[in-house]
């Protein structure tokens, strides 16, 4: 992969790194806090807890026409993929813990050097007991550890989340950029604290640390820390319409001080329930990046629910802090759409579309547009066996110094066997 170059002038260097020179101290302090709260809460809630284990095993056959995502030297291949997965849900009055693991052993028929084992471990911890003790307070910790032979450009979010929550996860994995195939370790850790001061006003503070390590020396390892603080005021105009005003600040700092950034944002927005099944939302505002001209931010979305499916589309133009391949403040424009429909009692079809354009503030350093379409049909063959066939298309065009252009088509057929849910603690 060709690394982009360039640096900010000394007069524009952000002072965030100077304010947080020992980010590892912050990380250790946050995880010590998490450990203490969890240790105190866990024994108390254990007597009233429920622990449920879900597990599955998938076997897939997959064809790709551009394994190494090259524009000039395309290599097609067929692979066999074996994927075990496990999820544990721990629920009590004081603590809610969700742990998920997934692995994928990949075997290629022609390019055996690309064989590998992908695995990811993730957990989310909420403390509802704290909300009862301090009404309005919410505390959540996240941890994502993954090892992958290739970071995906898109992640359409956890299907267990609501549609609105998934939009915030769409570009977390690859940030809308597809790079070369290289073994990548990534660790995402964070904490979110929110407090409702009144029925209409709440504040949220987050800290996220992302460590990315690549095999070999072709790509630079990165570590990025992002701290955010924002306040949102909600005003219920009618039973169907809510206005909101928001101010937020994000500080991004990491191992490359030249790409540290401080972003201020002010916006107003509206959410309107047109009918019981149709809702729309929109936001407009301004982003201020230290040493740069103000940038407009805009967001608009629509969600339509049907008796047998859902249709949603979200457009966003904003300034964000890069967490991996991209570092520092980046202008990002994205479109995410999804449609699902039930076909009979056991069959579901889906269509997902995505577009992202990332442009750095430094001239010609990064300007990448990525397009993707994914569609598929899944059906329940037996009470414990699910079948799926899917197709995905990915296209990327670079106008900066990233130098990664390519088109890829992938067809996948899979069978997934799921074991009955086991209640470990009643």
Q: What is the pLDDT of residues 249-305, one digit of tens each?
A: 999 887 767 778 899 999 999 999 999 999 999 999 999 998 888 999 999 999 999
pLDDT, average across residues 170-185: 65
Assigned domain for 117 exists: yes
Residue bearing the bigger pLDDT, 118 or 13: 118
* Domain of 240, in residue numbers: 10-425
Q: How many helices (H) and strands (E) does the chain have?
A: 4, 19
Residue bearing the bigger pLDDT, 21 or 330: 330
**Is the Cβ–Cβ distance between 346 and 380 less than 8 Å?**
yes
Q: In this model, does residue 368 exceed pLDDT 80?
A: yes
Q: What is the pLDDT of residues 187-206, one digit of tens each?
A: 888 888 999 999 999 999 99
Dihedrals phi, psi of 212, to nearest 5 degrees: -125, 125
pLDDT at residue 35, rounded to an integer: 55
Assigned domain for 2 exists: no
pLDDT, average across residues 209-229: 83
Q: In this model, does residue 412 exceed pLDDT 60?
A: yes
Q: What is the pLDDT of residues 337-364, one digit of tens each?
A: 999 999 988 999 999 998 988 888 876 5
pLDDT at residue 155, rounded to an integer: 63
Assigned domain for 3 exists: no
pLDDT at residue 94, rounded to an integer: 81
Assigned domain for 386 exists: yes
Residue bearing the bigger pLDDT, 324 or 416: 416
Cβ within 8 Å of residue 227, ≥6 positions away? 20, 205, 206, 207, 208, 250, 251
Q: What CATH number has the domain bearing residue 265?
A: 2.40.160
pLDDT, average across residues 108-119: 92
Q: What is the share, in percent, of the chain residues with pLDDT greater than 90?
A: 42
**How would residue 18 be classed by pLDDT, with cut points 50, 70 and 90?**
very low
* 87 vs 101: CA distance, rounded Å: 6
Provide DSSP, 41-64. Answer: HHHHHHTT-EEEEEEEEEEEEEEE
- What the block records as the tokens of 194 is 């929110």
pLDDT at residue 10, rounded to an integer: 34
Assigned domain for 4 exists: no
Q: What is the pLDDT of residues 57-104, one digit of tens each?
A: 999 999 999 998 888 889 999 999 999 999 999 888 888 888 889 999
Assigned domain for 414 exists: yes
pLDDT at residue 46, rounded to an integer: 52
Domain tally, the chain? 1
Assigned domain for 1 exists: no
* Short-list 78, 187, 84, CA closest to 418: 84
Assigned domain for 91 exists: yes
Q: Which residue in the block uniquely carries the two structure tokens 């008796």?
A: 307
Mean pLDDT for the chain overall: 81
């Amino acid at each position: 992969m060709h690394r982009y170059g360039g640096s900010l002038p000394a007069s524009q260097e952000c002072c965030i790194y100077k304010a947080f020179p020992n980010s590892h101290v912050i990380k250790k302090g946050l995880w010590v806090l998490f450990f203490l709260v969890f240790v105190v809460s866990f024994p108390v809630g254990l007597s009233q807890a429920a622990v449920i284990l879900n597990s599955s095993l998938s076997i897939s056959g997959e064809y790709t026409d551009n394994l190494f995502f090259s524009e000039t030297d395309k290599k097609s291949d067929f692979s066999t993929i074996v994927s075990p997965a496990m999820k544990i849900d721990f629920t009590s009055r004081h603590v809610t813990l969700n742990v998920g693991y997934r692995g994928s052993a990949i075997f290629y028929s022609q390019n055996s050097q690309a064989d590998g084992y992908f695995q990811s471990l993730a957990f989310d911890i909420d403390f509802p007991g704290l909300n009862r003790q301090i009404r309005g307070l919410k505390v959540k910790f996240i941890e994502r550890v993954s090892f992958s032979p290739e970071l995906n450009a898109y992640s359409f979010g956890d299907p267990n989340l609501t549609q609105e929550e998934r939009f915030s996860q769409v570009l977390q994995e690859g940030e809308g950029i597809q790079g070369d195939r290289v073994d990548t370790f990534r660790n995402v850790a964070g904490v979110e604290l929110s407090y409702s001061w009144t029925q209409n006003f709440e504040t949220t503070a987050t800290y996220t640390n992302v460590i990315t390590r690549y095999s070999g020396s072709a790509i630079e390892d990165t570590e990025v820390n992002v701290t955010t603080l924002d306040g949102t005021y909600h005003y219920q105009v009618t039973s169907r319409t809510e206005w909101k005003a928001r101010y937020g600040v994000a500080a991004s700092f990491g191992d490359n001080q030249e790409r540290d950034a401080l972003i201020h944002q002010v916006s107003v927005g509206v959410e309107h329930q047109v009918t019981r099944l149709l809702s729309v939302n929109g936001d407009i505002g301004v982003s201020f990046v230290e040493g740069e001209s103000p940038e407009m931010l805009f967001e608009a979305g629509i969600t339509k629910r049907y008796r047998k499916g859902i249709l949603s589309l979200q457009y966003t133009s904003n300034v964000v802090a890069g967490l991996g391949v991209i570092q520092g403040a980046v202008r990002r424009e994205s479109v995410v759409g999804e449609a699902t429909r039930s076909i009979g009692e056991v069959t579901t079809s889906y269509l997902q579309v995505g577009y992202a354009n990332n442009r750095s503030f430094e001239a010609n350093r990064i300007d990448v547009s990525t397009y993707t379409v994914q569609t598929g049909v899944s059906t329940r063959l037996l009470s414990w066996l699910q079948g799926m066939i899917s197709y995905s298309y990915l296209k990327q065009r670079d106008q900066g110094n990233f130098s990664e252009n390519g088109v890829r088509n992938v067809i996948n057929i899979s069978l997934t066997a799921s074991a009955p849910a086991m209640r470990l603690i009643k």
